[in-house]
Structure 1
């Protein structure tokens, strides 16, 4: 294969301009442009270690036709209208990508989503922000696309061994995402663009003969001799098929409760809880990029922080989670009487605020397992969320405190402007958390202040609570077949089952579950 592999160090204004970048690649390749068959942009990443921020770019220049696997493939879907059915519960990334993979394998997906389609869902999100009204079936967590639709749209994962990462990104590009996600080291789509992509995926499923239903909350299972044959929805409709893929997300507490009531094995699992911290984006830029103004080319900067803390001889990590540069804090409660916050960013990441979850690891020994069993983590979440709501006044206003005041245990400071639309209530956040969590958060922020000078100050504030980092419950499955350890033809999938941690890993897990369900349905295939 005739190609030249290049590693370039470029200024931001070159790396982020397509025409200048191509000229630079051709110049360094030292070839006649007419001899070039294809330029494969492999990776682009920011290097801010020095005083001058640079971009590192890897590219391959092909002097003959490149392998087909590096081109952007077109995924074609045959008509599966009359094929065997796979029931998929949940239309988040896991469920939607499971559905598309079912179609590729010649199976008909029937997707049941408890919430509304993305357009109708917007009205319920507006009601949370403006009227403090939470619809338990349509909110920032439930609805078409799941929690990922209204998020930063981050597309990187550490779970690369669990599936084909590039394939997931290529599918997203086919459905409307910018091709830059195939190239950037830390790609993202943005909450303003994700809804349209999700709609396009839905139409792909339907045009191939699959079915997608909304306002279909599952209330019961159809079981036959230890096998899952289907589900029953709140309108008393029964949906049956060859298998059920359960992709309900990390906040579907009624599903965990239903499994528990039916005697279907579930387990408590570690997770994390804490707060959102909000800074001015310009401050984070100045710390990370070593300049007062990042200019028109560099994106809003982010950070990743971790600190170990010890309390009562128990060591626990405190770490940043789902950092949203140029983003917003949003209300993510799924029931009245609770306050939950999360973060999201538009594609341009052009808000003047930066926010990140700062959370404490919760291990099994931190939970009341003897009292609540497999639902112990879920009860721990509920207790904190309900307390946050009560302390902030019983609406969707969130409890908050200036960051340095929190670490110094000082109360009464006037809160700052915020991106959180329902508003903030000034409280002593040390009183919100248990003594061990409050201590770990204080110590963690102090450590972060040493790592990022200027981070720990009263120019930032913390907002609570960030409690839905991941599912507090695992639905155990066989490592090889991915079937539930007790109930055959049931495939627990994605974040809600405890096997994913974001859009991409959930999508990959959805594809794997679809493949295993296909084998159960008697379909053989080659990947």
Structure 2
């Protein structure tokens, strides 16, 4: 009998001796879908007969473009002398009709995942959403893109699924310490997402697919006795003796409950103002501000994959860039390979941009938010006045509207022209449907943001060949990176320090930054509620 070798010395993780073994393999792009090839490589690295491997499961998949040859790096579990077992992601939902109610303001990821967790706990979620369901929301987005008309309650930020529904469905997060990232991904798979999101290093659903998943989550909530109210705007949260009692809707209807989760997203300014009027604590919070930068996707592919033409076996390339300029962070944010720049204003008289990609990421452009840190000390009175950064954000968005000329037309400038302070004589073709207007972005951006971007972009060009080019366009403004207001809460109970039973939640309250982290925070808030 051959003496066993300690496999961990070779980067092999043993799960059950002689049954399941996990290893990392480099795989050429053209072989990534060839299971027979992966089986052969696995058998060779494990030094066992191919016939002993009865199946495999890829746990993680990422692209390694550091060398001249781009490869996929995959972590694979090989089933040796045993058959693989299908993974099941159980959700123990119970029928909650008649159970104690939890009011959830907002049907974004924080609100919807709070509702799913309520079902597991035997609590009855009642989700209140100011916007429309995903099907009806599409019509308002079409008008927004074609005519530049904003419905303040139904747009890219407000409506079923929240800002993420029509802004891509990126699932990459660094929020592992906040909760169970894998559980969020599993629930998305259970509601229709492909299981690729469990494997890919940068999981992504796509704007074309995410609405169907959101609908499936809605059906789960309704099937098990929960409620979802669309076109229902909360205008008051009521309390008595420091304990929440319910909410009042714009229709005049009052809903009673001892627990209210506020998951309204980063653009619900009216809820921040409601808290302030009621003398409930809110505070200014740092955020980031800048522009969307769009390149032809082929420029990014050539830079990242070291090629003249991207292989058909590789996805459109991604990038992440960060630089310190005078002690201030400048960084790319929400990068969209094969994507589209979208108008994300929530009211007339403002221009706000964001980005999204379809599931195939097959549009000819790559865009990314490129933003600069905005700190409390950058804005007068921010330490004392909770809306100082909110007002600052809004003023920039209004200037963008004025400089763009209205109807959501965005001020824009070619990259090198921006750095050298020239008005662009013309603008390249781009993906922003309401249209772009050549302008000096120095007329829109605060001086410290403008100057930091001017210094950072050539430095980015040194890090990534081809990035610094006049073929790239800067479109203003990227201002809704996160909420400029935080609603404080107790770190243990997750309740507002002044109001028992009131749970500030998710991105709008200042406790998340994307779909997955918001979903985790929603589940955490539901877990904090005693049935």
What's the TM-score bracket when you normalise by the shorter of the two chains? over 0.9
Structure 1 residue 55 corresponds to structure 2 residue 67: no
Q: CA deviation at 1:19?
A: 6.0
CA RMSD of aligned residues (A): 1.8
Q: SS where residue 149 of structure 2 aligns?
A: coil
Q: CA deviation at 1:258?
A: 0.8
Q: SS where residue 443 of structure 1 aligns?
A: helix
Could you tell me whether the CA contact under 8 Å between 1:87 and 1:230 is conserved in 2? Answer: yes
Which residue matches 1:358?
Answer: 370
Q: SS where residue 504 of structure 1 aligns?
A: helix
Which residue matches 2:4?
Answer: none
Which residue matches 2:426?
Answer: 414
Which residue matches 1:383?
Answer: 395
After TM superposition, the structure 1 stretch with the greater mean CA deviation from structure 2, 226-235 or 98-107, is 226-235
Could you tell me whether the CA contact under 8 Å between 1:398 and 1:425 is conserved in 2? Answer: yes
Aligned equivalents of 1:506, 1:64: Cα separation in 2 = 42
Q: CA deviation at 1:61?
A: 1.7
Aligned equivalents of 1:303, 1:81: Cα separation in 2 = 47
Structure 1 residue 277 corresponds to structure 2 residue 293: yes
Could you tell me whether the CA contact under 8 Å between 1:402 and 1:413 is conserved in 2? Answer: no
Structure 1 residue 146 corresponds to structure 2 residue 162: yes
Could you tell me whether the CA contact under 8 Å between 1:151 and 1:191 is conserved in 2? Answer: yes
Aligned equivalents of 2:435, 2:39: Cα separation in 1 = 47
Q: CA deviation at 1:39?
A: 2.7
Aligned equivalents of 1:289, 1:26: Cα separation in 2 = 29
Structure 1 residue 5 corresponds to structure 2 residue 22: yes
Q: SS where residue 258 of structure 1 aligns?
A: helix
Q: CA deviation at 1:32?
A: 6.0
Q: How does 1:80-119 map to 2 (within 5 A)?
A: 80-119=96-135
Structure 1 residue 347 corresponds to structure 2 residue 359: yes
Could you tell me whether the CA contact under 8 Å between 1:401 and 1:413 is conserved in 2? Answer: no
Aligned equivalents of 2:67, 2:410: Cα separation in 1 = 38
Which residue matches 1:485?
Answer: 497
Q: CA deviation at 1:453?
A: 2.0
Aligned equivalents of 2:35, 2:130: Cα separation in 1 = 42
Q: CA deviation at 1:36?
A: 4.9
Out of 278, 281, 289, which is 1:265 matched to? Answer: 281
Q: CA deviation at 1:90?
A: 0.4
Out of 71, 86, 91, which is 1:75 matched to? Answer: 91
Q: CA deviation at 1:38?
A: 5.4
Q: Structure 1 residues 28 and 464 mapped into 2: Cα distance closer, same or farther (>3 Å)? A: same
Q: Structure 1 residues 21 and 67 mapped into 2: Cα distance closer, same or farther (>3 Å)? A: closer
Q: Structure 1 residues 294 and 480 mapped into 2: Cα distance closer, same or farther (>3 Å)? A: same
Out of 423, 447, 468, which is 2:480 matched to? Answer: 468
Which residue matches 2:268?
Answer: 252
Could you tell me whether the CA contact under 8 Å between 1:304 and 1:323 is conserved in 2? Answer: yes
Q: Structure 1 residues 37 and 83 mapped into 2: Cα distance closer, same or farther (>3 Å)? A: farther
After TM superposition, the structure 1 stretch with the greater mean CA deviation from structure 2, 482-491 or 195-204, is 482-491
Structure 1 residue 298 corresponds to structure 2 residue 314: yes
Which residue matches 1:221?
Answer: 237
Q: CA deviation at 1:434?
A: 2.1
Aligned equivalents of 1:7, 1:272: Cα separation in 2 = 37
Structure 1 residue 230 corresponds to structure 2 residue 246: yes
1:468-525 Cα distance to aligned partner (Å, 9 max, x none): 00000111111111111111100111000100010000001100000002x2xxx3xx
Q: How does 1:196-215 map to 2 (within 5 A)?
A: 196-215=212-231
Structure 1 residue 192 corresponds to structure 2 residue 208: yes
Which residue matches 1:495?
Answer: 507
Aligned equivalents of 2:100, 2:53: Cα separation in 1 = 47
Normalised by the length of structure 2, the TM-score is: 0.94
Aligned equivalents of 2:307, 2:141: Cα separation in 1 = 37
Instruction: Show structure 1 runs of 4+ deviating over 6 A.
Output: 64-68
Could you tell me whether the CA contact under 8 Å between 2:382 and 2:389 is conserved in 1? Answer: no
Aligned equivalents of 1:452, 1:194: Cα separation in 2 = 31
Out of 282, 292, 303, which is 1:287 matched to? Answer: 303
Q: SS where residue 374 of structure 1 aligns?
A: coil
Q: Structure 1 residues 252 and 22 mapped into 2: Cα distance closer, same or farther (>3 Å)? A: farther
Q: How does 1:19-34 map to 2 (within 5 A)?
A: 20-21=37-38, 24-25=41-42, 28-29=45-46
Which residue matches 1:45?
Answer: 62
Which residue matches 2:344?
Answer: 332
Aligned equivalents of 1:370, 1:154: Cα separation in 2 = 31
Structure 1 residue 157 corresponds to structure 2 residue 186: no
Structure 1 residue 457 corresponds to structure 2 residue 473: no
Aligned equivalents of 2:483, 2:82: Cα separation in 1 = 46
Structure 1 residue 239 corresponds to structure 2 residue 251: no
Could you tell me whether the CA contact under 8 Å between 2:56 and 2:84 is conserved in 1? Answer: no
Q: CA deviation at 1:17?
A: 4.7
Out of 321, 326, 343, which is 2:333 matched to? Answer: 321
Could you tell me whether the CA contact under 8 Å between 1:268 and 1:374 is conserved in 2? Answer: yes
Q: Structure 1 residues 23 and 77 mapped into 2: Cα distance closer, same or farther (>3 Å)? A: farther
Could you tell me whether the CA contact under 8 Å between 1:15 and 1:57 is conserved in 2? Answer: no
Aligned equivalents of 1:297, 1:437: Cα separation in 2 = 39
Aligned equivalents of 1:417, 1:183: Cα separation in 2 = 35
